[in-house]
Amino acid sequence: MGQHQSIVSAEWLKDNLNNPDIKIIDCRFRLPDANWGYQQYNHSHIKNAYYLDLNNHLSNTVTDHGGRHPLPDNKLLATKFEQIGIIKNKTTVVVYDDSRFAFCARLWWLLRFLGHHQVFILDGGWHHWQQLNFPTDNVIPSDGQGSFIPEPNFDLTVDIQQVKQAQTSPTVATIDARSGDRHLGKTEPIDPIAGSIPHSHNVFWQQNSTPEGFLQSKLDLETIWQAYLKYPEIIAYCGSGVTACVNIFALETIGYHNCKLYAGGWSDWCSYLQKSENLISHN
């Protein structure tokens, strides 16, 4: 299914496009325009693909704390999976976007979190599929007959208390997936406060892919992550638990499996800063 165990090529997907045991999910999205992805999907998408929306399906309601994209209600998401026709631990799911895995990696992570491991990301995404002139249409597939009982693995997540405890641990690396300038607190386009979690390192999520949207080679990924592979545990975070999943995905493909998501991310962390100034780092 490709050079890594969690990714498939456009050619592989095209050859399996009409396999009833494979479900394709479009995750295109834009943070500044929440309706954009669904509009694009309605206009054109990979043949037989369903659509799941970051805000409406892959996140929960925003509250004072918990970040901008809290993890979704497990039962509601499982119901969506059933409507798509996903049979847990039987159906192969292929997810894609047009943003170098930024949004589809969140769905990849969520499926695994809820106990479904046959999920793959489409290498090259929507852009490459279009370049190859592979089949697209604007038909919304009818509801499937799935069966999905969510069994969340909370060992894959950490909350703010666990992140604080890990700050001084020699066995845990906390890694920020945001850009270097955001990590350094030089700029903050989204959240009200700039900065990063003290003692955190920085691996920008876009390093894991080429500008064309292909996953970097195993060797390149090992080079990118080399400094952190010695840690028994990695905590991944970003602004709100979305692009951090790209880092987790990249680590998984090179055989590093003990990576935990701080889903609240910087947006959760900085929501407490008015109460305590010692939570911030400008490096």
Q: What is the CATH number of domain 7-152?
A: 3.40.250.10
Q: How far apart are CA 139 and CA 48, in angstroms?
A: 8
279 pLDDT exceeds 70? no
Looking at residue 3, what is its pLDDT?
41
**Mean pLDDT confidence for 8-36:** 97
From the list 183, 159, 177, the residue with the least C-alpha distance to 262 is: 159
278 pLDDT exceeds 60? no
51 pLDDT exceeds 90? yes
Average pLDDT over the chain reads 95
DSSP states along 160-198: HHHHHHHTT-TTEEEEE-S-HHHHTTS--SSSSS--B-T
- Stretch(es) of the chain classified as CATH 3.40.250.10: 7-152, 155-279
Which residue of the set 27, 104, 238, 259 is catalytic?
Answer: 238
Residue 109's CB is within 10 A of a number of other CB atoms, namely 27
Looking at residue 164, what is its pLDDT?
97
Looking at residue 55, what is its pLDDT?
96
β-sheet with 233-237: strand ranges across: 201-202, 172-176, 233-237, 259-261
Tokens in use for 39?
């509009």
Q: What is the pLDDT of residues 194-214, one digit of tens each?
A: 999 999 999 999 999 999 999
pTM here is 0.95
Q: What is the pLDDT of residues 220-252, one digit of tens each?
A: 999 999 999 999 999 999 999 999 999 999 999
Q: What is the pLDDT of residues 83-120, one digit of tens each?
A: 999 999 999 999 999 999 999 999 999 999 999 999 99
Residue 259 is among the residues annotated as catalytic for this protein: no
Looking at residue 5, what is its pLDDT?
77
Residue 145's CB is within 10 A of a number of other CB atoms, namely 8
Tokens in use for 33?
């325009």
Q: Are 137 and 42 in contact (CB under 8 A)?
A: no
Looking at residue 281, what is its pLDDT?
56
DSSP states along 214-269: PBPPHHHHHHHHGGGTTSSEEEEE-SSSSTHHHHHHHHHHTT---EEE-TTHHHHH
Hey, what CATH class is 155-279 in? alpha beta
4 pLDDT exceeds 80? no
Looking at residue 89, what is its pLDDT?
95
